[in-house]
Amino acid sequence: MSNILTIFLLISTFFTGIFWVFYRIKNIKNYLINKKIIKKNNSYKNNNTILNCKTFLQSLASFFPVFLFVFIMRSFIYEPFQIPSGSMMPTLLVGDFIIVEKFSYGIKDPITNKTLIDIGHPKRGDIVVFKHPLEHNLYYIKRVIGLPGDKIEYNIHNKHVKICKNYLIKKNCTKKILIRYSQAKSSNFIQKIYLFNNEYSTSQQKTYNSLYFDILQEDINNFKHNILLLSNIKNPKQEYYQQKNMPKLTWIVPKGEYFMMGDNRDNSLDSRYWGFVPEKNLVGKAIKIWMSFDKNENEWPTGIRINRIGNIY
């Protein structure tokens, strides 16, 4: 369950809050102190048991401010996440720990994710954490490429994107989003390709090739970021998500939904494959890297990448 920690914090905050209030209300506290609970003929053992129980409950109540602070901070302000895969390379690497600003797209109920106070909406180019539209227990992180009403076209050959703004409203492409791509250059990022001699066993697994990614700059209306491509990898056209009444590789973003893509274009399961992300699924905007461990996917870290700590660009 994706929000199990939130539920635990909510329950812990509620119950410790009860004890905290119980011991902070003056008249109840005075009542407990002054009432003759223990009679003169009670044994010392019974007296000691009651005192120990009272001390335990007071200690439990002292945790309330901590639980309340963590619950409010994590549910409404900031939440940490770890990058587990390379789908956002070169912007985010495996081993990066990021801070997500929860209130960027509204104050939301931490359990149902329903918007309570509408503050803002994603902008094109934002890096967003969201719940997968089909598997709600999974968190994904991608870049916002298409806004509600946009028409998105993806060229399967050169892997470039074309965007027509407000197509859903005007029904024609009157305003194109200017997208420029730089010349592709070889990078140091590697994609390992594995061969399995036995499809039911990984014991005879071996690497038969390591492909180097090409890196290039994608400039969307002067918002620049780097992306990775594997020039010799071609995904079959039938693997892409086909919107109803639309041709393959062309999508119109519905109202209240967004089109997401990973910066590692040939190693990212995103809106090209499973469709759009509803606004209610948005968790927040990734803003900073607060820690980065030098590691590969499914491997132990070998060091700390101090130079990566800071703002996400």
- State how beta strands 223-229 and 151-154 pair: unpaired
3-state helix/strand/coil string of 79-91: EEEECCCCCCCCC
Between the alpha carbon of residue 121 and those of residues 78, 257, 260, the distances in Å are: 17, 11, 14
How long a stretch of residues is the chain?
313
Distance CA 302, CA 295 (A): 6
Q: Which two tokens stand for residue 43?
A: 């044994």
Tokens, residue 74: 């994590």
Is 142 annotated in the active site? yes
C-alpha 162: how far from chain center = 26
Angstrom distance (rounded) from CA 114 to CA 210 = 44
Cβ atoms of 32 and 53 closer than 8 Å: no
Active-site annotation holds for 87: yes
Q: Which residues, other chains included, contact 65 with Cβ-Cβ below 8 Å and sequence gap of 6+?
A: 20
Omega within 30 of 0 (cis) for the link into 278: no
Q: Using the 8-state DSSP alphabet, how is residue 52 labeled?
A: H
Catalytic residue among 102, 108, 131, 142: 142
Q: Annotated catalytic residue: which of 12, 75, 85, 87?
A: 87
Active-site positions?
87, 142
